[in-house]
Amino acid sequence: MLTVKAPAKLNLTLEVLRKRPDGYHEIKSVFQTLDLCDTLRLETGNSVTFQCDMPGWSAEKSLVTRAIDLLKKVTGCSRGVTVTIEKCLPLMYGLGGDSSDAAALLCGLNKFWKLELSIDKLQELAAQLGSDVSFFIRGGTALAEGRGEMLTPLPPLPKMWVVLVIPEIPGKPGKTGRMYAALKPGHFTDGRITDKLISALHNNDFNSSMLFNTFENIAFDSYSGLSDYKERLIKLGALQVHLAGSGPTLFTMFEGKSQAEDLYARCKSREMQAYLASTGFKRIPVRKPARIIWHS
């Protein structure tokens, strides 16, 4: 049996620069993995089968099925596998859980089936599934540009502690597209917010006041009740509350573990679905920083 972790992702910044002629949006964003993870267990099987402990999860609707199909097509491998997924990351809540599962499965099967594909090749395949999938092959801290498919490894974020709250707001398919469609030109920025954060990473001068997500301009109107969760978190001691990706997950970040633990405990005592995590997860060490561009 082989066990593989699939981490959550935060956008430390998420700037939308413009709408492109191809209908997509040009973004500039800093991605960061957390040590809050799904767990995938791979075991020998005669065919490809999936088991998952999350009610309503469907292999047919997940990127994991496409990941296996793509890997078999490219390598010609016909072996089977039984994949058991222990879900920690909620689906469609802005944490990248399905993309991360797909990336973890590509990496895991590369070892389990002894395919010996390079990390670069795995990242190329992942990009065919989605830009987030490509990021999760390595994890850590990275700049994402274009539609999110242009990735540049960055100096690691100093270890921070994160409290995440999952609101009782249903995650809906297609929400990210709807959020992009709701943005107005006044919500577009020029990338300098992200540039400032990147400079801080290079100079070891990061602080959580640099976080930014343009979807916060519309999320609290788009998600009914989300403002109430933000106000509750502030009353419980969160200094700043941010949206994770396209939402509706909210999070706040601390330098000290004890402060994060205190807020997490207060959230749990009020029966909020909360998680405590840190920024310590990285799948593949990057020895030389270089832009990585894969075209799907």
Question: Which domains does the chain carry?
Answer: 1-296 (3.30.230.10)
Instruction: State whether residue 191 is helix, strand or coil.
Output: coil
Separation of alpha carbons 278 and 257, rounded Å:
9
Name which of 11, 12, 34 is nearest 200 in CA terms. 12
Mean pLDDT of the chain: 92
Q: What is the mean pLDDT of residues 104-132?
A: 94
Residue 189: its pLDDT value, please?
98
294 has pLDDT over 70 = no
Q: Give the C-alpha separation, 39 to 104, whole Å.
A: 9
Residue 281's pLDDT band, with cuts at 50, 70 and 90, is confident
Q: How confident is the model at residue 274 (pLDDT cuts 50, 70, 90)?
A: very high
DSSP 190: -
pLDDT of 140 strictly over 70: yes
What gap in Å lies between CA 62 and CA 182, rounded to an integer?
Answer: 26
Nearest to 115 by CA among 82, 68, 153: 68
pLDDT at position 172 is 76
Q: How many CB atoms lie within 10 A of CB 269?
A: 10
Instruction: For residue 283, name the pLDDT band (cuts at 50, 70, 90).
Output: low
Q: Pick the catalytic residue from 5, 38, 132, 230.
A: 132
Q: What is the mean pLDDT of the segment spanning 84-113?
A: 95
Q: What is the pLDDT of residues 155-211, one digit of tens each?
A: 999 999 999 999 998 877 788 999 999 999 999 999 999 999 999 999 999 999 999
**Chain-centre distance for alpha carbon 213:** 14
Percent of the chain having pLDDT more than 70? Answer: 95
Helix (H) or strand (E) holding 46: none
Active-site pick, 9, 28, 175, 230: 9
Catalytic residue check, 9 = yes
Q: What is the per-residue pLDDT for 288?
A: 37
Q: What is the pLDDT of residues 214-257, one digit of tens each?
A: 999 999 999 999 999 999 999 999 989 999 999 999 999 999 99
Q: State the pLDDT at residue 290.
A: 40
**What pLDDT score does 287 carry?**
38
Residue 143 makes CB contacts below 8 A (sequence gap 6+) with: 28, 29, 30, 31, 151, 152, 154, 194, 198
Residue 184 falls in the annotated catalytic set = no
Output Rg (C-alpha) for the chain, integer angstroms: 19
Predicted pLDDT of residue 289: 38
pTM given for the model? 0.91
